[in-house]
A and B are shown apart, each in its own frame.
Chain A
Amino acid sequence: MKDLVRMRTSLKEEIERILNEQIKMEAHSSAIYLSMAAWCDRNGFDFSAGYFYKQSNEERNHMLKLFNYVSDMGGHAISPEVTNVPQEFDGFRDVFELALQQEIAVSNAINRIVGQARQLNDFATDQFMQWFVKEQIEEEYVARRAVELFDVIGEEGVGRYMIDKAIPKITYGDVEAQ
């Protein structure tokens, strides 16, 4: 008897499900960053707005990368429904703390996928997800550094203006550029 399930896809159902969950999470992250960009624009933090627009695009690209993978492997990639996107934030610092929390949540989710892929001997997905593991090192670094700037520069006086200007200059692994 032919193995119709395996002929359709090499992805196990559980892996397909968690990859689709990750697609949804990346789409949600992209939407949150877009909302943060708009908030920064409304409140005069122009450079930070640019930073969040860029982040939003990156998250969407991550989503597409996962989406293409699921489709290429014969799986059913689900175009996600994005809801519950916050539109208001308590303050400038709060925006960046929330961004860091979001990145940490994404890292944890990616680690869970890798763990599950290894448990199910899905080495293709494990290998594919390694790009995301590396990417999250950078994403978390940048988000953490942004929060750190609030302590290093301070919010008093022209502090917020200075922080806003410094945000887009944060890069991972190149101290000279900062």
Chain B
Amino acid sequence: MSNTLPLTELFASSKGATYQCDTTNRIIIQFGEARVSLRISDFLTFKKRVDSVDIHTMIFNTDDAYDVEIIDAPRTGHLFVLSLCDLIALRDLLAGTRFVLDLNTLLNERIYSSLVY
């Protein structure tokens, strides 16, 4: 991906990837054609929004209104319009990202902290 700022890949799936930018302290989500850059607090809010969608209702409700879910990425001006498959893929991507962020916290806590003076 083209970007002048150094990015660290956090997680990748067949539908997209996420990166961390240590210069801007932001998480970049590349999902399909969409690319958004979020502060960590906004990333966590966005993940909560994606996780809170009732997938069961989307599957079993035949009304057209339940075919897609529109989710706003905080303070980016971007709306994700997601089909059921997109939603599951995005959840998977964000869950993987969250896992890596937590793993990084754990590594910082247990290993790297002892190196900071």
Contact = CB atoms under 8 A, between A and B. Distances in A.
A1 B101 CA distance: 10
B101 A7 contact: no
Interface residues of A, number: 10
Contacts of A2: 20, 22, 25
Contacts, number: 31
B20 A4 contact: yes
Size range of the chain B interface in the assembly: 10 to 19
Nearest to B107: A3
B25 A7 contact: yes
A8 B40 contact: yes
Interface of A: 1-8, 13, 76
Contacts of A5: 40, 101-102, 104-105
Interface centre among A2, A8, A13 (most CB of B within 10 A): A2
Interface in B1-36: 8, 20, 22, 25, 27
9 contacts: A1-B8, A1-B20, A3-B105, A4-B25, A4-B40, A5-B40, A5-B101, A5-B102, A76-B44
A76 to B, nearest CB: 7
Contacts of A76: 41, 44-45
B107 to A, nearest CB: 8
B61 interface: no
Nearest to A75: B41
B45 to A, nearest CB: 8
Given A1-B22, A1-B104, A76-B44, 10 more contacts: A1-B20, A3-B104, A4-B20, A4-B25, A4-B40, A5-B40, A5-B104, A6-B108, A8-B40, A13-B44
A34 to B, nearest CB: 30
Contacts of B44: 13, 76
Contacts of B45: 76
Nearest to A3: B108
Interface string B73-106: 0000000000000000000000000000110110
**Smallest CB-CB A-B distances: 7 pairs:** A3-B108, A4-B40, A2-B22, A8-B40, A5-B101, A5-B105, A6-B105
Nearest to B26: A4
Contacts of A7: 25, 40
A124 to B, nearest CB: 15
A120 B108 CA distance: 16
